[in-house]
Amino acid sequence: MAVTAPVRKPRPMTPARRRLRNNVVAYSFIAPNFIGFAVFTLGPILFAFALAFMDWDGSNEMTFAGLRNFWRLFSDDVFQTALWNTLVYTALTVPLTLVCSLLLAVLLNQKVFGRNFFRTVMFFPYVASLVAVAVVWNMIFNPAMGPFNMLLVAFGLDPAHLPGWSADKNWAMVTVILFSVWKNMGYYMVIYLAGLQGVNPELYEAAGIDGANAWDKFRHVTIPQLSATTFFVSIMLTIQCFKVFDQIYMLTQGGPGTSTLVLVYHIYNEAFISWDLGYASMVALVLFLLVLVVTVVQFRRERDA
């Protein structure tokens, strides 16, 4: 019984009409995200570049400042300290985190008892709320009564010469760096673990036949094989370090004095404490340039690879 249903012929569409319709459909997919993105991200980014060359306190009239904010960077000691501190923080945090996370990844890539437990434990500080862990960290490293210094005394250190941690201008940066390494190394360990999955096991076998011990294998197989991962991790870490703020705000508030004041902290102070929005944006521009340099390095290397 072959009853053919009356087929309604689709109205033939001209190519131009079809193209128009396809565009409209595509834009309807993009619009919800793109409108939000354009208004709340793209707009402010363009505004930020313009604001760096303005004088504005946020309520009175905005005036054009030319390069005045730029020249001010050179006479602003606090800015120079902040830039220096940011670079010091980065220069120490990046290699320390890199070494710790690589070491953990290599150890946890082997068959060890409780491997998943260890991985979970190493990763947990990364997801833990910063405020909660920073406050407990400051209590443990309280110079006068914290358990860590008490332990040092118990080991026979002179109570008069204990490290002052976040309350001492010579130790504050060390405290912040140690905290950052502790909190973030689990994250980079996971990236390294993924990188290790890509290392060909035959390379280790071949090295073993050649009589290489564990250290030789680590130096001559693991490290060269992981060079792409290491590069990627260093780039990410460097950018993260340039942007550091939260842990410094919680641990030292940039102090004592200006010993842990970093760029984002300076931006925050200039903008939301002094309401010097133009100058704050100029400092932000410096942060942008730092990140841009690192991104360009990454981009070139990826292009050449």
Partner 1 sequence: MKILGRKVKPARILVYAILVATAVTMLVPFVWMLSASLKLSKDVFSFPVEWFPAQPVWHNYVDIWTKVPLALFIWNTSKLTVIVTLLQLLTSSFAAYAFAKLDFKYKNALFLGYIGTIAMPWQVYMVPQFIMMREFHLNNTHLALICLQAFTAFGVFLMRQFYQSIPDELCEAARIDGMNEYQIWWKIMLPLSKPALSTLTIFTFVTTWNDFLGPMIYLTKTELKTIQIGLRMFIAQYSAEYGLIMAASVVTLIPVLVVFLALQRFFVEGIASSGLKG
Q: Which residue, 107 or 157, has its beta carbon nearer to partner 1?
A: 107
Check residue 193 for interaction with partner 1 (CB under 8 A): yes
Check residue 182 for interaction with partner 1 (CB under 8 A): yes
Query: Which residues is 63 bridged to in the sheet?
Result: 55
Check residue 23 for interaction with partner 1 (CB under 8 A): yes
Query: Which residues is 55 bridged to in the sheet?
Result: 63
**Encoding tokens for residue 219?**
């130096």
Residue 289 neighbours by CB distance under 10 Å: 10
Report CA Rg, the chain: 27
Candidates 66-74, 101-109, 164-172, 219-227: pick the segment binding partner 1 (CB under 8 A).
101-109
Min. distance of Cβ 219 from partner 1 in angstroms? 15
Tell me if 253 sits within 8 A of 138, measured CB to CB: no
Candidates 63-71, 76-84, 85-93, 99-107: pick the segment binding partner 1 (CB under 8 A).
99-107
Rounded to whole angstroms, the Cα distance separating 72 from 75 reads 5
Tell me if 169 sits within 8 A of 81, measured CB to CB: no
Tell me if 166 sits within 8 A of 134, measured CB to CB: no
Q: Which of residues 227-286 bind partner 1 (CB under 8 A)?
A: 232, 236, 239-240, 242-243, 245-246, 249-250, 264, 267-268, 271-272, 277, 280-281, 284-285
Min. distance of Cβ 26 from partner 1 in angstroms? 4
Among 13, 30, 99, 228, binds partner 1 (CB under 8 A): 30
Rounded to whole angstroms, the Cα distance separating 146 from 78 reads 31
Q: Which of residues 38-77 bind partner 1 (CB under 8 A)?
A: 38-45, 47-48, 51, 58
Nearest 10 degrees: Cα torsion 290, 304, 194, 198? -160
Rounded to whole angstroms, the Cα distance separating 282 from 271 reads 11
Q: Which of residues 142-171 bind partner 1 (CB under 8 A)?
A: 142, 145-147, 150, 154
Q: Which residue, 1 or 95, has its beta carbon nearer to partner 1?
A: 95
Q: Which residue, 172 or 278, has its beta carbon nearer to partner 1?
A: 278
Among 130, 174, 212, 297, binds partner 1 (CB under 8 A): 130
Min. distance of Cβ 94 from partner 1 in angstroms? 14
Residue 170: which of 77, 242, 257 has the closest Cα?
257
Min. distance of Cβ 128 from partner 1 in angstroms? 6
**Beta strand ranges found along 82-211 (DSSP E):** none
Q: Which of residues 280-299 bind partner 1 (CB under 8 A)?
A: 280-281, 284-285, 287-288, 291-292, 295
